[in-house]
Structure 1
Amino acid sequence: MCHFPFLFEGTSYSTCTTEGRTDGLPWCSTTADYDKDKKFGFCPSELLFTFGGNSNEAACVFPFVFQGTKYDSCTTEGRNDGYRWCATTANYDTDKKYGFCPNRDTAVIGGNSEGEPCQFPFTFLGNKYSACTSEGRSDGKLWCATTSNYDTDKKWGFCPDRGYSLFLVAAHEFGHALGLDHSNIKDALMFPMYKYVEDFSLHRDDIEGIQYLYGIYPMKQSIIY
C-alpha cells in the first residue's frame, strides 16, 4: 500500500504523484522515504485500466470524442449517477466502447472538478493545505482544491465521506452522560459537529473537562488518557 506522506527527491507528497515520470502514470512510495528505499507502486489510474463498461478493462484513450466534444480526462457527462467514465477508443460516437474510471481515495464529490483527485498541498487564500479542510465554509463540510492553487484556478470538490465510527459517536454521547457539554474546539471529541478520525486520541480540552468534573486521580490516569 502507499505510504503517505513520503519523500521523493527531498519533497514530501501526501497523495499519488506523476513527478519523475514521463508517461503520466500516478505512483506512490510504499515506504516513508523513496529516496532511501526505492520502493514504489502505481496508483489506480484510467491510464492503466478501466472496469465495467464493454471494453474488457481496456485503458482510457485521451483525447476521445463524445457527442462531438473532445475530452482529455474522465468525465461524468452523459450520466446521471455521477460515475466517471471514458472511451477506450478515440471516438465513442462511432465505436461505443467505454469503461468506468478507477476510484481514487482522494477523488472529490461535487464541486466543479468532475471527480478529479485532491491536489496536496494546495493554496487557499494564501495559505497552504496538506489535507482536506472546512476553511471558507460555514457548513463544516470538508473540501480540497484539485489544482495546486485554488486562488488562481478555482477548481475544487468535496472530500469523500469516510463514514461514521460507532466508537466515536458512542464516546461523544458517553461524554454527555458523564456531564460534559459541547466544546468549541474543532479537534475535541465533544465538538458538536462529527468528523471521522482514523487515529483517535482525546484532546486536552476533553481531558481537562472530565478532570474538572471528577478531579484528577493519578493512579487511574491511564484510564482517562
Structure 2
Amino acid sequence: MDGNLSFLKMQLDVMRHLVGWVSLAVCMYGLNADLIPYLQPPEEEIPLQNCTFPFIYNGVIYHGCISVHSDFDWCSLDYYFQGRWRYCKAFDPPMCTFPFQFGKKSINECIKEGYIMDRSWCSLTENYNKDRKWKQCSPHK
C-alpha cells in the first residue's frame, strides 16, 4: 500500500513539473494562450471575514487557529462551527481578553506577575483561573 502511495506522489510531482514546462513553452513559442488557465490550478480565495475566537469545533473550545483535520492552520467564522471557515493568516492570533480574572484580581492590561520568564502575558478568556488559556504579549506597544 505504501508503495502505491509513493508512486502516486511521484506521478503528481511529475505532472506539476510538466504543467510548468508546458506553460513556459506556451509563453515562449506563442502557442494558444487560452490553454494556460486550464494548465494551472486555481488560486485559493480566502474570505475577508475575521476569524471568531474562541470558537467551538466538535465540542471543544479553541482560542486560536487550529490544524485539526487539516495540514494548515484554520479558524471558524462562527462561534459554533457551522462549516464556515478559512485558512489563518499572520494577523489572526487570538486577542487578549480584558479584564480577566487572575487569582483574586481583575486585570486590565498585560502583566508579568506569574510568568517566570519576566515577560508580559494576558489571558485569552475572562477567567484565567478556570480556563488557563493565555498568550505572551508583544514587547512593542
Q: When the two structures are superposed, what TM-score results if normalisation uses the length of structure 2?
A: 0.46
Instruction: Looking at secondary structure, tell me which structure has more helix per residue.
Output: 2
Higher gyration radius (CA): 2
Q: Which has the higher contact order (CA 8 A, sep 6+)?
A: 2
Q: When the two structures are superposed, what TM-score results if normalisation uses the length of structure 1?
A: 0.31
